Structures are given as C-alpha cells and as structure tokens.
Amino acid sequence: MSPSSLPAHFLSLPKAELHLHLEGSIEPATVCALAARHGQPLAEQEARRRYSYANFMEFIEAFKWVTSYLRDPEDYALITRELGKRLLAQNVVYAELTLSVGIMFLRQQQPEANFEAMCRASEELRKQGLRLQWIFDAVRQFGAEAAMQVARIAPHYRNEGVVAFGIGGDELSLPTADFRAVYDYVAEQGLHRLIHAGETGGPQLVREAVELLGAERIGHGLGAMHDPALLEMLAERRIPLELCPTSNICTGALARQLTRGSARIAEHPLPNFLRQGLAVVLSTDDPAMFHTSLLAEYAHTAAMGLTEAERDRLAALSFEHAFLPAPEKRALAAARPGAHS
C-alpha cells in the first residue's frame, strides 16, 4: 500500500514516532555526501546495493558500514537536519530519536561534541514545528561495561532532551542479566529504560526485559506472540511494544518468528496485539535502510486489516506513550496541521 492511499484527514493529522534510529535514517545519497566529505568517493549505486539484506545479521553489518561515515559533529548535524525535513513533510510533530552512542565510543569519537551539534540542529527544527527528544543507545554485543559507559553519560544531557537509555544490537549475543546493574543505574538517575527484545528472540527475552531490567517500552517484541501469559502481563502493565513492520520483513525477523523462510506484511501480529488490548506504537526503525516512511507504515496497516478507526487510534497511542508530561502530549497531539510550513 502507498501513502497516497491514506485519507486526507490522516495525512494532515499530527503524528509522533518513538522507535527511530537516527543513523538508520541516512539516505544513500547522503552516505555518498558524507564519504566525499571525508575524501572517500562512493558511488550511489554501491550505497544502494548495501541497503539490501537477507537476514538480521546482514542488516547489522550494513548499519556498521553506514555509521563508518559518521566521523565528526557536522556529520551528525547534517543527518539530523535531513531526517527532520522528512518528518516534517509527514506532519510528524514529535519524535524520540535513538542515537548509537555506543558506536561513537567504539570509534573513539566525542559523543558530547556530536550531541551538541545535533541539539543545535534540533533547535532549528523545533522552530519549524518538530520537537525531538533523544534515547542514548548501547550495543548489546559490546557487553555490560560498554553499556555502562553510555549509561553514565546520558544523565548529563537530560536538560537537552535525553529522556531514556536503551540497548539495541544482537539480542541473542549476551544474557539479559548481564545488564541488570546498568539498568539499575539508569533508574537511579531518573531516566526511562528501553531495550530491543523479541525481535529475533523468543518471549523469554521480552519477559526478562521487563522483570530483570524494568523496561518501560519494548523495541519490537514480536516474540511475545508465542506466550499468551506474557501478552496478558504486557497488556495489564501497559508496557508498549514498538512495532516496525517493514523492518521485520526486511531483516527476516517476522519470518524467523513464524519459523518460515519468508513472511508477508499482512501476517504481522500488530492487529492481534492491538485488539488484545496491548499498548502498541507504530514506527519505522531505520527508515532509509528499510526503504520506508512513517506514512508508508500506516498505509501498510490496511493490508493488515486495520480499520480507519483502529489506524487513528494507533496514531494516538504514539503520543500517549511518549516520554512527556501529559499536558505536553495533549498539546502536540492537537498541533495545528501545517504549522511548520
């Protein structure tokens, strides 16, 4: 389904997005521009070739390749501005951007300088009608010590819009319990706690994320479909699942959960989750790398069988579960369409 299939009222509706990796928003042409800035000319055809994956680990390798061209603060400011323009074009008025601070540390960069440049870019976007907040993200396979390094820096930027700490990467690489001390520290610092779980892994990893780490939202959470008791717990506690259907098709995550060689968007569990009373939010994950947009994700919900009323409700849930005070959520959800134009 194309975004053009969405009704006019939905196109102009204020929207929020909560699971969006800044680095995964880099378009192939921008990768080439970044490469040229650093004296490494790159053909756009080669960049586009890299944006294709047969499985989750191939995607991880492509993500590492893309981020290898992010080397200084201006690079990060550029990709923030470019993503902001695309969000504004979709009437997105609020987004929580996940930032791979763990990769910055791995590459011996200065996360402070990079983030300050992004903050300056986000101030320009706010004047146009887009509010950004930030999630500092660690990489699971790098281990608990590296995750703590990210956790320690995050609280210093609460006044600049850092609202949460999260962990992404390969959820099968290390036990959840390894990160308990990291999440205890984050909780003590007053930050929200997120983690990718149940993307390629099973329901036990989702349960551990909640019970061991105190996760307040779950990135993906597909594996929960296999455990009715877990679904009941998630619904009762109103712990949202951040669902990214196109991502789950492109990485093979949904096919893996269905124990098949392939899967179709219509088979995504989003409608079942929604109708069972779970809190779910719709997102793009890495929009450029999965050739999608937030409007395209909403258009796909028709193929999943959602009604227009259910789709409108889904859009409202992203405001409801944003890390914002209630009055600010209501104000953003009621923002005048086109205020940024």
The CATH number of whichever domain residue 317 belongs to comes to 3.20.20.140
Evaluate if residue 289 carries a pLDDT over 60.
yes
> What confidence category does residue 340 fall into, taking pLDDT thresholds of 50, 70 and 90?
very low
Strands 15-21 and 131-139: unpaired
pLDDT on residue 280: 98
Phi then psi for 39, rounded to 5 degrees?
A: 75, 25
339 belongs to a structural domain? no
Distance CA 243, CA 203 (A): 15
Neighbours of 12 (CB within 10 A): 12
Tokens of 277: 């009373």
Beta bridge partners of 66: none
- The answer to whether residues 335 and 297 touch, using CB atoms and an 8 Å cutoff, is no
- 199 has catalytic annotation: yes
pLDDT on residue 341: 36
Find, among 220, 221, 284, the residue nearest to 17 by Cα: 284
Query: Residue 108 — left, alpha, or beta (φ > 0 → left; ψ -120 to 50 → alpha)?
Result: left
125 belongs to a structural domain? yes
- Sort 261 into a burial class: Cβ within 10 Å, 0-12 / 13-18 / 19+: exposed
- Once rounded to an integer, what is the mean pLDDT over residues 307-335? 95
341 belongs to a structural domain? no
338 belongs to a structural domain? no
Neighbours of 296 (CB within 10 A): 19
119 belongs to a structural domain? yes
340 belongs to a structural domain? no
Evaluate if residue 141 carries a pLDDT over 90.
yes
Tally the domains of the chain: 1
- Once rounded to an integer, what is the mean pLDDT over residues 317-340? 86
Record the pTM: 0.95
Evaluate if residue 338 carries a pLDDT over 90.
no
Sequence-separated (6 or more) residues with CB below 8 Å from residue 35 = 41, 42, 69
Strands 241-243 and 131-139: unpaired
Length of the chain: 341
Residue 123 half-sphere exposure, CB side, CA atoms within 13 Å?
7
95 belongs to a structural domain? yes
191 belongs to a structural domain? yes
Sequence-separated (6 or more) residues with CB below 8 Å from residue 236 = none
Distance CA 308, CA 191 (A): 35
pLDDT on residue 3: 87
> What confidence category does residue 5 fall into, taking pLDDT thresholds of 50, 70 and 90?
confident
Phi then psi for 168, rounded to 5 degrees?
A: -120, -160
Residue 328 half-sphere exposure, CB side, CA atoms within 13 Å?
11
pLDDT on residue 56: 92
Distance CA 59, CA 328 (A): 36
pLDDT on residue 2: 82
- Once rounded to an integer, what is the mean pLDDT over residues 54-75? 95
- The answer to whether residues 311 and 301 touch, using CB atoms and an 8 Å cutoff, is yes
- DSSP secondary structure letters along 96-119: EEEE-HHHHHHTT--HHHHHHHHH
Distance CA 165, CA 193 (A): 5
Evaluate if residue 199 carries a pLDDT over 90.
yes
Beta strands in 71-156 (DSSP E): 92-99, 131-139
The radius of gyration of the chain's CA atoms, rounded to the nearest angstrom, is 19
pLDDT on residue 330: 94
Question: Residue 69 carries which side chain, given as an amino acid letter?
Answer: Y
- Sort 107 into a burial class: Cβ within 10 Å, 0-12 / 13-18 / 19+: exposed
From 17, 27, 199, 297, the catalytic residue: 199
- Once rounded to an integer, what is the mean pLDDT over residues 167-185? 97
**Residue 62 structural domain:** 3-333
> What confidence category does residue 335 fall into, taking pLDDT thresholds of 50, 70 and 90?
confident
Distance CA 305, CA 105 (A): 43
